Chain A
């Protein structure tokens, strides 16, 4: 009898015992993991709203340079909506004024990001050939360099194509600010974490449009779906000659400009 017991012990290898043990322990946790999944979904619904499914959307923006009058309402609305520090060093969106003179010289300015519009028109003896305003914003690149370089994954692309920053995770190394070719990011002076345009994600998930689009009096900005046929943005891209900023960098911006001048940087 003793011999038998010894034999049966040796047939169950140590590896098998450990494997079975691991499986049984895993079994204990399965309901917990399933529950965690449920909780996560509930949490997502709580954050995004019951009816918002990120994977069903793909957001972008269209900007018609010809329509922009440089009033800066968009930049001001953004600061209000998103509690962006008022000082002239922190912008999620801003408007640039371009003046191209007869001799080919280009003057660009954006006093206080055009939050107060362009009030004074600097005197110049030179004749202006072309002049226009260009609203700037995070391009929510399809191929975002900022997401690529973030050492901790604090900045990420949502399934609906928006680039966001998790301030709880951001360590403030500012590598993303260096990597952004468009100057769209800044370090929040209060939180010491990276900040940028969120496409007003908190509004978008509730079915609203972005603050800058809503504030624009001339509809120079269009926010919408990139892939849905009924979307005004799709129509915008069909009806206009389109360009993006710095296409050679292959960041594939999702902010599309109509009537884009070669001097726009």
Chain B
């Protein structure tokens, strides 16, 4: 209690205009920024994987398994920031036991469980089944048993079974695309359906979330591919990289258009909230929205990728541009989440004043926990890469 008071008291001096007295405590902080960022990466990485299986984009095959494992690693951590931000994490199971059917948030558990159990784990299992059987037969001791267990003790390597694996993975990807849309579109809906908040309340919110998710997911897999491949002493497949960069570019164009539409629509309609939102954008959100999200995270990578493509730049330059662009995109999309979540709470619902967000370092909702949560998916990904190497793919060759 004392901590909260000590945290809130200095904020009183930084309020401009009038905000409702209960609004001084800003409720959804960094952790709730991280949550949509992580689920966005999951959805985006999965969409990239689906390009191979459903849309038959053969060029990006080298990243197929990598995308799936990336999606899994991030999905496993995605609920953690939500859990940590709850006032009573120990009661979170109530969301499963007694969900309120009118609440978008209550659907979280079901959407999450569906995506994890019915889509991602199954698809990975079918895709790796043959390899796991082979690895089990090639290794010994604990490792052998681990693969046996992971393959659920299946041992059928007949053509018929392998054909079924392929078919199952394809069907699961087809189910997976709308599921990935659901997973992240629904996160957008959580914000977009709050009529009390004009910054959030927009029917475009789920779609904007979705496309920014695809952008961030593709960029992340591109980064992982570019880091991991040379580390293993392999050459980066430029056809694959060019193709991923193209898809990143297209997704960014759609994302940018949607955000521009949202922006223009708001200004054109000029509703009651426009004055305070204009103050917000030109003031407290200027750096994170205009400079980081729009300029550094969107326009610079867009132009850079377009330029190297049009100029037919040499492979080395392309790699550099793709890598830096993908990094900037990550910063930009994180900033997008920040601007939505924190930005939506910086102005008063009285539309008469602005407040500030002060981030702590220690504590469950502080910076330290957030950094740990952000690092965890990469640790899991490292373990997954060790256990289920996504590199050699004898099933495909």
Cα A263 to Cα B91 in complex, Å, equals: 42
- A187 part of interface (Cβ distance < 8 Å): yes
- Chain A binding surface SS class: loop
What residues of A have a CB within 8 angstroms of the CB of B25 in the complex?
Answer: 89, 186-187
- B27 part of interface (Cβ distance < 8 Å): yes
Q: In the complex, which of the residues B18, B28, B100, B351 contacts A110, with contact meaning CB atoms closer than 8 Å?
A: B18
Q: Is the CB of A88 within 8 A of B21?
A: yes
Given A145-B195, A174-B28, A193 and B88 contact (CB-CB distance below 8 Å) = yes
What residues of B have a CB within 8 angstroms of the CB of A113 in the complex?
Answer: 21
Given A108-B350, A193-B88, A249-B195, A91 and B104 contact (CB-CB distance below 8 Å) = no
Chain A, 126-147, contact with B by CB distance < 8 Å: what is the 0/1 string?
Answer: 0000000000100000000101
Interface size class of B (residues with CB under 8 A): 35 or more
Q: Is the CB of A169 within 8 A of B352?
A: no
Cα A110 to Cα B351 in complex, Å, equals: 15
Q: What 4 A-B pairs come out closest when comparing CB atoms?
A: A172-B87, A183-B20, A192-B87, A181-B196
Closest to A264 in B: B350
Q: Which of B1, B100, B194, B348 has the most CB of A within 10 A?
A: B100
Q: Is the CB of A190 within 8 A of B195?
A: no
- Interface residue stretch chosen among B4-12, B137-145, B387-395: B4-12
Interface CB pairs A-B, < 8 A, 8: A87-B5, A89-B8, A149-B194, A169-B94, A171-B87, A173-B105, A178-B28, A183-B23
B residues in contact (CB < 8 Å) with A:
1, 4-5, 8, 12, 17-25, 27-28, 85-89, 91-92, 94-95, 98-100, 102-106, 108, 190, 193-197, 345, 348-353
- A179 part of interface (Cβ distance < 8 Å): yes
Given A90-B22, A151-B105, A190 and B349 contact (CB-CB distance below 8 Å) = no
- A33 part of interface (Cβ distance < 8 Å): no
Given A110-B21, A149-B105, A170-B87, A181 and B94 contact (CB-CB distance below 8 Å) = no
B197 to A: closest C-beta gap in Å: 7
Q: Is the CB of A149 within 8 A of B86?
A: no
Closest to A168 in B: B91
B151 to A: closest C-beta gap in Å: 37
